[in-house]
Amino acid sequence: MSDEPVADKPGADDKIRTALFERLVLPYADSAYNLARWLTRNDADAEDVMQDALLRAYRFVGGFGGENPRAWLLSIVRNACFTWIKRNRPRDMVPIGEDEGDTLGTIVPLWAAEPVGADQLLERQADRALLDRLMEAMPAEGREVLVLRELEELSYKDIAEIIGVPIGTVMSRLARARQRLQTDWQRAAARGRPA
């Protein structure tokens, strides 16, 4: 996945590069943005990071010789995101499983405010908002594996390549992230339930 040394050599044909960019990068723009948006947690920052990542992808696409352009692009995006997080949100870098603080303190489930008997649709919207907020409340490392696994539906192997860690690490991060989300979900549900 480290194509950087051979990439970006002077005289690389810009036309070929542009064609490669259109073939290998642009089709995965939504995946890339989804990851950037989840890791930065807001649109403005996601767009900045995405801009950087696309620029890098454009510069290095000539050296890409792998088989999975989406994974390649996502690894560029996640690296850009983590650089950004370290600089701007260092508190978000706590490894998943090591922070025991109750980040849920600020989260009030939406359905707590709904009258009993709110219809199905409202309940679904509340669930949706709640899951998004619970996931956003997780440390970045956990959020990353959840997004790559559940929303991008990537294999452990692809995720390991994207993040640059052994598959075993992917497994344990994913297990811890799910464990935590499960706990948070149950806690939020218990709190939101009318007495």
Partner 1 sequence: MKPEPHPDFLDRLVDGEATPAELAQLEAHLASCPTCRAELAAKRNLSAAIRQQATRYAAPAGLMEKWKAIPSLPVPAEPPAQTAELLTFRTRTRPAPPRWLGLAASIALAMVFSAGGMHLIDRQTVQTDVLADEIVSSHIRSLEASHLYDVQSTDQHTVKPWFAGRLSFSPPVKELAEQGFPLLGGRLDYLGRRQVAALVYRHGGHIINLFIWPDADATAGVSPGPAEQGYNTLRWAQEGMAFWAVSDVNLGDLQSFADHFRD
Q: Of the candidates 44, 75, 58, which has an alpha carbon nearest to the alpha carbon of residue 161?
A: 75
Work out how close the CB of 97 gets to partner 1 at its nearest, in angstroms, rounded to a whole number: 12
Q: Closer to partner 1 at the Cβ: 92 or 156?
A: 156
Identify which range of 85-93, 99-107, 112-120, 150-158 contacts partner 1 by CB under 8 A: 150-158
Q: Closer to partner 1 at the Cβ: 103 or 156?
A: 156
Among 2, 155, 166, 191, indicate the residue that binds partner 1 (CB under 8 A): 155
Amino acid letter, residue 166:
P
In the structure encoding, which two tokens stand for residue 77, read together?
Answer: 């995006």
Identify which range of 80-88, 89-97, 105-113, 147-155 contacts partner 1 by CB under 8 A: 147-155
Task: Check if the beta carbon of residue 193 is closer than 8 Å to that of residue 107.
Answer: no
Work out how close the CB of 152 gets to partner 1 at its nearest, in angstroms, rounded to a whole number: 9
Rounded distance between C-alpha atoms, residue 97 and residue 89, angstroms: 18
What residues have CB less than 8 Å from 79, skipping those under 6 apart?
none
Identify which range of 21-29, 79-87, 93-101, 111-119 contacts partner 1 by CB under 8 A: 21-29
Residues 111-140 that bind partner 1 (CB under 8 A): 124, 127-128, 131-132, 135
Rounded distance between C-alpha atoms, residue 140 and residue 1, angstroms: 22
Binding site for partner 1 (CB under 8 A): 15-16, 18-23, 26, 29-30, 32-34, 37-38, 43, 46-47, 50-51, 54, 58, 62, 65, 124, 127-128, 131-132, 135, 146, 149-151, 155-156, 171-172, 174-175, 178, 181-182, 185
